[in-house]
Copies of this chain bind each other. A is one copy, B any other.
Amino acid sequence: MYETLQFEHSSTVERVVDELRRALFDGELAPGTPLREVALADAIGVSRSTIREALGTLVAEGLAVRQPNRGVAVNSLKAADVRDVGKARAALETAGVQAWPTARASDKDALRRAFADYTRTAESGTNSSDLTAAHLGVHRALVGLTGSERLLAMADALAAEIRLALAHVARVRRNSGEQVAAHRVLLTLLEGGDVEAAVAELRDHLTHAETSMLEAIKRPRRRKADIQ
């Protein structure tokens, strides 16, 4: 009984983390920007302890980096990091695709839904941030095919890094229709049971994504912070 009920317990720290994450993803804080404890505490209106804890989780999530005695700053992904994230993504998503034959029906459905969502978002031509989210959702669902929460959590961490990087990069302009088509191919191959081909398609897609991200990272979007 009451299985559907849930109650959101949000601590102050959690809300601070959410707010900081949002600011990072929305590009309000450029990579490398130092996150000063007292300044943030004053700005947000909480104590330094709370900020400190929030910064700790941000660092744990890889969205920020801490240098001992010098504070934490917004993480800025170098080319090497992008490549590293690419390898990690490839590993996780390949595992998901390879698990298709033995995947739970619910996980397969989740993937189908994520793709449908992505298609719809792309067609309705909404905000690019939403599109990114929907796109990442498909890739997340791929990992979900493994049926492992831990792998999903790892995928989420990687996705967060990607979103952070994407927020500070000149618009990655690729034909979104073409993108959707590429994913549809992948899905179709899976539905047809051709795992081998799906893996190849995935690898191809990820390689393209990585090179275009590397390309984009070279020409960072001009921001206020740059000219101060």
A49 to B52, CA, bound (A): 10
Interface residue ranges of A74-94 to B (CB < 8 Å): 84-85, 87-88, 90-92, 94
- Between A and B, 15 residue pairs with Cβ closer than 8 Å are A9-B68, A53-B53, A53-B56, A60-B60, A84-B148, A87-B150, A87-B151, A88-B146, A91-B92, A91-B146, A91-B148, A94-B95, A94-B98, A95-B95, A150-B158
Q: 1/0 per residue A120-157: CB within 8 Å of B?
A: 00000000000000000000000000111111001000
A177 to B57, CA, bound (A): 43
A158 to B148, CA, bound (A): 12
A149 to B154, CA, bound (A): 13
Seed contacts A84-B149, A91-B146, A91-B151; 8 additional CB < 8 Å A-B pairs: A11-B68, A52-B53, A53-B53, A60-B60, A87-B147, A87-B150, A87-B151, A90-B95
The 10 closest A-B pairs by CB, nearest first: A91-B95, A87-B148, A60-B60, A88-B150, A9-B68, A88-B148, A88-B151, A84-B148, A154-B154, A84-B150
Question: Do B146 and A87 touch across chains, with their CB atoms under 8 A apart?
Answer: yes
Q: 1/0 per residue A7-32: CB within 8 Å of B?
A: 00101000000000000000000000
Closest chain B residue to A95, Cβ basis: B91
A148 to B151, CA, bound (A): 15
A88 / chain B contacts, CB cutoff of 8 Å: 146, 148, 150-151, 154
A92 / chain B contacts, CB cutoff of 8 Å: 91
Min distance, Cβ A27 to any Cβ of chain B, angstroms: 23
A68 / chain B contacts, CB cutoff of 8 Å: 9, 11
- Which of A9, A85, A90, A150: most chain B Cβ within 10 A? A150
A177 to B211, CA, bound (A): 46
A90 / chain B contacts, CB cutoff of 8 Å: 95
A158 / chain B contacts, CB cutoff of 8 Å: 150
Q: 1/0 per residue A142-184: CB within 8 Å of B?
A: 0000111111001000100000000000000000000000000
